[in-house]
Amino acid sequence: MVAEVAVLVVGAGPTGLLLASELYRRGVDCRVIDAHRTPLQWDRATVVHPRSLEIFGSLGILEPLLAAGVKQRVARLHSAGRVLGEIDLSICGSRYGLNIASRKR
């Protein structure tokens, strides 16, 4: 199928989908293509990191995410019944010192 669009976005991962959404929001025609014929049946996303929250904040789309998600200030890493360590996000240097996780897992 041949279509006239202003922008061709190559890759339907988070970067391409956010870019396409922002173009659409600003009235710019775009088409997204991906090497995969269908969406993958699994996802890698466990949490939204502080830097992503900053980007969402600058785009004005953060509030619904903050309201819907679970706020995590500390991540504790376990392996074979042992605690390997903790990551304290409140000292990570971001204005959002936390991760956002889904309530459904």
Ligand X SMILES: Cc1cc2nc3c(=O)[nH]c(=O)nc-3n(C[C@H](O)[C@H](O)[C@H](O)COP(=O)(O)OP(=O)(O)OC[C@H]3O[C@@H](n4cnc5c(N)ncnc54)[C@H](O)[C@@H]3O)c2cc1C
Closest CB 40 distance from ligand X, rounded Å: 8
Q: For ligand X, which residue has the nearest CB?
A: 13
Closest CB 51 distance from ligand X, rounded Å: 9
Within 10 angstroms of residue 90's Cβ, the number of other Cβ atoms is 11
Strands 30-33 and 7-10: parallel
**Which helix (H) or strand (E) covers residue 73, if one does?**
none
Applying CB under 6 A, which residues contact ligand X? Answer: 10-16, 33-36, 44-49, 52
Distance CA 94, CA 51 (A): 7
Three-state DSSP state, 32:
strand
Q: How far is CA 70 from the centre of its chain?
A: 14
Nearer Cβ to ligand X (11/97): 11
Nearer Cβ to ligand X (38/64): 38
Closest CB 35 distance from ligand X, rounded Å: 4
Closest CB 50 distance from ligand X, rounded Å: 10
Nearer Cβ to ligand X (27/39): 39
